[in-house]
């Protein structure tokens, strides 16, 4: 079975349907996507989106001072870039994740793993002039996907990024280097291109750069948008 709208992304975008992920069989459009040239509606973007999506917590690990979350404290930071490698300033970056036990603080998570009242599972930041974001959090736990033939999701962070145009909108996930579950994850491995998968795995920062209180990871995210170059 082939789905035409997965074509022409050079292996960077996920191939669907994803085995073991039944919803991808019923939610993905079957008709080919319609190609159009970008116009004003695509090139423009809500420049002051932070007025709507107000920046929130960047410390998920200790929302109440003196009451840290359970888990391995971690700092994750990086830059939001465009396809030419230029930093994207003023991008809204939303992050959400499971707690150290692999449980989301969300009504839809039916897992029996415990919630952690001292862990805030979500944060929102605005990139600075260098395109930088930074969060303090804990390393999330893995969890089993509740489908018939279950499989494990490796520890991962969810990122939602709003760039400068309608086209530069990205929702992705970040993975951790060296985790044996990465090789078996259906969602990560839906990306056919080896290098593209590697780009979704954060880089470990050795202690000299973050000190001894936190694990350190750095993760840059590149937004699409070259299509947004105005037509001559």
Partner 1 sequence: MHPTSQQTIGPFFPAQFFGAADHDLTRISADAAPTRRGETVLLRGRVTRQGGLPCVNAVLELWQADAAGRFAGEAEADPDFLGWGRACTDADGRYAFRTLMPGGFRDGLGARAPHANVTVLGSGLMRRVLTSVFFDDAAAVGDPVLALVPSDRRALLIATPEGESEGLRAFRFDIRLRGEAETPFFEV
Tell me which residues in 112-131 interact with partner 1 (CB under 8 A).
121-122, 124
13 near partner 1, rule: CB under 8 A:
yes
Which residues carry out catalysis? Answer: 104, 143, 153, 156, 158
- Min dist CB 129 to partner 1, Å, is 18
Pick the closer one to partner 1 by CB: 22 or 206. Answer: 22
- Which DSSP category does 199 fall into? T
96 near partner 1, rule: CB under 8 A:
yes
213 near partner 1, rule: CB under 8 A:
no
- Could you tell me which stretch among 67-75, 92-100, 126-134, 207-215 binds partner 1 (CB under 8 A)? 92-100
**Other CB atoms closer than 10 Å to residue 232's CB: what's the count?**
3
- Could you tell me which stretch among 17-25, 64-72, 130-138, 209-217 binds partner 1 (CB under 8 A)? 17-25
- Min dist CB 158 to partner 1, Å, is 7
- Residues 99 and 97: their CA atoms lie apart, in Å, by 7
Judged by CB under 8 A, how many residues of this single chain contact partner 1? 78
The values of phi and psi at residue 15, to 5°, are -95, 130
Interior/surface letters 106-118, b for 16+ CB within 10 angstroms, e for the rest: eeeeeeebeebeb
Member of 166, 181, 184, 215 binding partner 1 (CB under 8 A): 166
21 near partner 1, rule: CB under 8 A:
yes
Would you say 45 and 88 are in contact if contact means Cβ atoms under 8 Å apart?
A: no
Would you say 43 and 229 are in contact if contact means Cβ atoms under 8 Å apart?
A: no
66 near partner 1, rule: CB under 8 A:
no
Member of 126, 138, 201, 223 binding partner 1 (CB under 8 A): 223
- Min dist CB 178 to partner 1, Å, is 20
Q: Which of the residues 177 through 206 are near partner 1 (CB under 8 A)?
A: 187-188, 190-191, 195-197, 199-200
Q: Which of the residues 129 through 148 are near partner 1 (CB under 8 A)?
A: none
- Could you tell me which stretch among 13-21, 67-75, 126-134, 201-209 binds partner 1 (CB under 8 A)? 13-21
Measured in whole angstroms, how far is the alpha carbon of residue 55 from the centre of its chain?
Answer: 17
Would you say 160 and 174 are in contact if contact means Cβ atoms under 8 Å apart?
A: no
Q: What is the 3-state secondary structure (H, E, C) of 105-166?
A: CCCCCCCCCCCCCCCCCEEEEECCCCCEEEEEEECCCCEECCCCCCCEECCEEEEEEECCCC
- Residues 149 and 198: their CA atoms lie apart, in Å, by 26
- Min dist CB 69 to partner 1, Å, is 16
Q: Is the dihedral of CA 47, 230, 129, 215 positive or negative?
A: positive
């Amino acid at each position: 079975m082939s789905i035409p709208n997965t074509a022409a992304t050079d292996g960077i975008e996920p191939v669907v349907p994803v085995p073991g992920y039944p919803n991808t069989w019923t939610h993905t459009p079957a008709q080919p996507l319609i190609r159009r040239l970008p116009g004003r509606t695509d090139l423009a973007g809500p420049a002051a989106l932070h007025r709507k999506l107000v920046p929130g917590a960047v410390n998920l690990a200790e929302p109440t001072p003196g009451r840290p979350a359970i888990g391995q404290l971690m700092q994750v930071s990086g830059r939001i870039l465009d396809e030419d490698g230029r930093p994207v300033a003023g991008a809204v970056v939303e992050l959400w994740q499971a707690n150290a036990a692999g449980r989301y603080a969300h009504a839809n998570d039916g897992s029996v793993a415990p919630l952690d009242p001292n862990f805030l599972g979500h944060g929102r930041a605005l990139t600075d002039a260098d395109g930088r974001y930074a969060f303090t959090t804990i390393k999330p736990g893995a969890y089993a996907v509740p489908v018939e033939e279950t499989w494990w999701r490796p520890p991962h962070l969810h990122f939602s990024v709003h760039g400068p145009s309608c086209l530069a909108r990205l929702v992705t996930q970040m993975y951790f280097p060296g985790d044996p579950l990465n090789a078996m994850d259906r969602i990560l491995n839906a990306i056919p291109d080896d290098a593209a998968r590697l780009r979704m795995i954060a880089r470990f920062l050795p202690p000299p750069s973050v000190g001894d209180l936190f694990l350190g990871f750095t993760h840059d995210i590149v937004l699409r948008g070259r299509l947004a170059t105005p037509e001559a």
